[in-house]
Chain A
Amino acid sequence: MNGKQCDMKGYLEERVAQCAQVRRELMADNRGDEANFQAIQGNVYGIFSTILTVAVEQNHGNDQGVEDFFLKKLEEIPAQWEQAREKALVRGDDVAAHLEGLKLEAAQDVGHTFREIWGVKG
């Protein structure tokens, strides 16, 4: 992995660890649902950490290839969550909608950081 890739990987792994730590603290504080929110967001960071690894493996020495692969997944995967969120809102399931919203929030954070590290505009 080059510098940018390492930075991104480091950020994602740090977020996974942070979510796990906060989750443990919330569990100990009897805040089960909020602990679950952290687990959900931690999973999202974990998914994109895996995607980054795959992107790098499939695009050796091709930084643009890694960027394209990663950004494509960053569009495709949250689109499913957005759909699920909209469906939940339609059926009046605000709780499920909130959970999908948490995934989207984490994905947005990943996208923002990726673009910052990669120097991608938009």
Chain B
Amino acid sequence: MTETEAIGLFKCLADKSRLQILKSLAVEDMYVERLAQRLDLTAATVSFHLKKLAQAGAVSSYKSQYYTMYALNRDLFDTTILDIVQEESEEADLQAQRDEAYRQHVLDSFFQDGRLKTIPAQRKKKRIVLQALVEQFEPQRIYPEPEVNAILARYHDDVCTLRRDLVGEGLLERDAQGYWRTQDET
């Protein structure tokens, strides 16, 4: 189900009369006049609601003798809300673009002439800066501490804080032999 379809469905369901119609159809398939009589609504009003429910994919109709019968689309209601929430957002690309623009903005603010002006205090910004710094380390290579310090010193004098933060953020790992870049540094 797309995001637009999910919004349409939720909007459609947020109405007591339509919910009553669906509850009736959950019991058995029905035609307009029967629903109208059962729910004390006019046939025109029931038709209106059924059109909206059909547009949202919640019900479907079929001919049976002289009647147009309406049935619940049970497949749709087997979908859980979690399924809907976990669908990839239609705005995923846009969100990625916004994230990238923000990342660039942070880097532009904190780096000047290739040097880190100051270590960001805000965690989100600091992580972006640290992610940029960890790019200076080759993957799958172990660096002794002096070499790590030398690399970080190219960007900021407080290499101890940077080194500690890189480890703290899980961007570098260390043991007695030295430091190395973690597999997943995103």
- Alpha-carbon distance A34/B45, docked complex (angstroms): 8
Q: Which residues of chain B from 1 to 40 have any CB-CB distance to chain A below 8 Å in the complex?
A: 14-17
**Are B51 and A33 in touch, CB under 8 angstroms?**
no
Contacts of B48 in A (CB 8 A): 33, 94-95, 98
Interface residue count on the B side (C-beta < 8 Å) = 13
Closest Cβ neighbor of B48 among chain A residues: A98
Contacting residues, chain A, for B103 (C-beta < 8 A) = none
How far is B51's CA from A34's CA once the two chains are assembled, in angstroms?
Answer: 14
Bound CA–CA A34/B42 (angstroms): 11
Q: CB of A10 within 8 A of chain B?
A: no
Residues on the A chain within 8 Å of B14, using CB: 30, 32
Residue A76 CB within 8 A of the other chain: no
What 0/1 pattern do residues 69 to 87 of A give for CB contact below 8 A with B?
Answer: 0000000000000000000
How far does the Cβ of A103 sit from chain B's closest Cβ, in whole Å?
A: 13
A33 to B19: give the CA distance in the assembly, Å: 13
Q: Which chain B residues border A95 with CB–CB below 8 Å?
A: 48, 51-52, 55
* Residue contact A31 to B52, C-beta cutoff 8 Å: no
Chain A residues near B127 (CB-CB < 8 A): none
Tally of contact residues, A, Cβ under 8 A: 11
- CB-defined contacts of A94 to chain B, threshold 8 Å: 47-48, 51
The answer to whether A98 and B15 touch (CB under 8 A), given A33-B49, A33-B52, is: no
Query: Which residues of A (67-117) have their CB < 8 Å from a CB of B?
Result: 94-95, 98, 101
Quick one: which of B16, B52, B55 contacts A30, CB cutoff 8 A?
B16
Residues in A29-70 with C-beta less than 8 Å from chain B: 29-34, 37
What's the nearest-Cβ distance from chain A to residue B30, in Å? 19
Interface digits, B147-185 against A, CB 8 Å rule (1 contact, 0 not)? 000000000000000000000000000000000000000
B85 at the interface (CB under 8 A from A): no
The reply on B44 being an interface residue by CB < 8 A is: yes
**In whole Å, how far is B11's beta carbon from the nearest beta carbon of chain A?**
9
* Alpha-carbon distance A102/B17, docked complex (angstroms): 18
Interface string of B108-131 (1 = CB under 8 A from A): 000000000000000000000000
